[in-house]
Structure 1
Amino acid sequence: MNRTTMLAAALAALMPMSALAQDTAPTVSEAYARSTNPKVGAAFMTITNNGSKDCVLSAASAPDITDRAELHTHVEENGVMSMVEVDSITIPAGASHALDRGGDHVMFMATKAPMAQGDEFELTLDFGDCGTVPVTLSVDNDFAPAGGHDDHDHDDHSHDDHSHDDHSHGN
């Protein structure tokens, strides 16, 4: 065994196993936050997994604005849209996944202060073996989705008790 081969073997032994699990961390684009009422907000973005293995978003944190950042989605049941908390969101290898209003998103419950237009804060996305991804979010309460309507309006809902029964939306 020559010296170069021994050095390469020694470096490989020192490499953490998590680095072998995924060749690249997911990337985030088009990220912004939106306030839905003085105590609740949400984050939306596109997550791209350029790696060779699926990445699972299992947690989010934004300690500057809340102690309760949660992963949510919308489901339709009997013609009524309801928001529900989910344990994780999978981003398939080589694919992108949008966190959009009316779909998967990060929810900020019981915010420490209202999220004002133009505010910026840090959000950390935890993808487990794929690593953590820090994201700087700007609050954009003026953004309207294609079609010009807001299908993620929570202005008349209370989230302080975290009851998902209060998240129903009629279509």
Structure 2
Amino acid sequence: MNRRTTLAAALALTAGLALAGCGGADGAPQLEVADPYMPQPVDQNMAGAYFTVKNSGDTADKLTSVTSDLSKDITIHKTVGTKMEQVDSLAIPAGGELRLSRGGNHLMFMGLKKKPAEGDKVTLRLHFATADPIKVTVPVKAVTYAPKK
């Protein structure tokens, strides 16, 4: 009987360790932001920001909100055909990326506290459903700036 108890305890411990290995940091989204920019706004009413969130992890995540000292009203938009619509989040697939670009998914900043000029830097904090927030420094580019593809 004592042997069975010891064997059962050993099996329970082994199973517990195996299950603990299934989740954790290895299964989490691994996010990084690339190529951020904001075209210089035409006026102080609104601005847009663009970047790519790369997920090298094996778990999907979602961009759920953005905060910045530039504006209290920052919304996430997706573009379907020629129509833009505000959404609560945008998916970041496992092993994939979320691209925000002109004419596609993007951020909208409304009621800017000040109009940033070309050469300025704007700090954003990206918030996700699962991953920790990421702080991003976004350079302000010329109004007509278009990144190289």
Q: What TM-score comes out, normalization by structure 1 length?
A: 0.66
Question: Distance between the aligned counterparts of 2:122 and 2:50, measured in 1?
Answer: 14
Question: Distance between the aligned counterparts of 1:21 and 1:40, measured in 2?
Answer: 39
Give the direction of change, closer, same or farther, for the CA distance of 1:122–1:85 in structure 2 (3 Å limit): same
Question: Distance between the aligned counterparts of 2:34 and 2:40, measured in 1?
Answer: 19
Question: Distance between the aligned counterparts of 1:53 and 1:82, measured in 2?
Answer: 30
Q: In the comparison of the two structures, how many residue pairs are matched?
A: 126
Provide the residue aligned with 1:137 in structure 2. Answer: 138
Provide the residue aligned with 1:47 in structure 2. Answer: 53
Question: Distance between the aligned counterparts of 1:127 and 1:21, measured in 2?
Answer: 17
Provide the residue aligned with 2:64 in structure 1. Answer: 58
Question: Distance between the aligned counterparts of 1:136 and 1:32, measured in 2?
Answer: 9
What is the CA-CA distance between 1:50 and the residue it aligns to? 1.0
1:40-92 Cα deviation digits (max 9, x unpaired): 11111111011111011010111x2100111012223xxxx232211110010
User: Is this contact kept in 1: 2:123–2:136, CA < 8 A?
Assistant: yes
Rg: which structure is higher? 2
Give the direction of change, closer, same or farther, for the CA distance of 1:145–1:30 in structure 2 (3 Å limit): closer
User: Is this contact kept in 2: 1:21–1:130, CA < 8 A?
Assistant: no
User: Which region of structure 1 is more displaced relative to structure 2, 116-125 or 28-37?
Assistant: 28-37
Q: Does residue 23 of structure 1 match 2:24?
A: no
User: Is this contact kept in 2: 1:25–1:131, CA < 8 A?
Assistant: no
Off by >6 Å, runs of 4+ in structure 1: none
Question: Distance between the aligned counterparts of 2:88 and 2:61, measured in 1?
Answer: 14
Provide the residue aligned with 2:99 in structure 1. Answer: 98
Give the direction of change, closer, same or farther, for the CA distance of 1:41–1:22 in structure 2 (3 Å limit): farther
Question: Distance between the aligned counterparts of 2:105 and 2:116, measured in 1?
Answer: 20
Question: Distance between the aligned counterparts of 2:52 and 2:94, measured in 1?
Answer: 14
Q: Does residue 67 of structure 1 match 2:72?
A: yes
Q: Does residue 112 of structure 1 match 2:113?
A: yes
What is the CA-CA distance between 1:121 and the residue it aligns to? 1.7
Q: Return 5+ residue gaps in structure 1 as ranges.
A: 1-11, 13-17, 148-171
Question: Distance between the aligned counterparts of 1:26 and 1:119, measured in 2?
Answer: 25
Q: Which amino acid aligns with 1:75?
A: V
1:103-125 Cα deviation digits (max 9, x unpaired): 11111111111121111121011
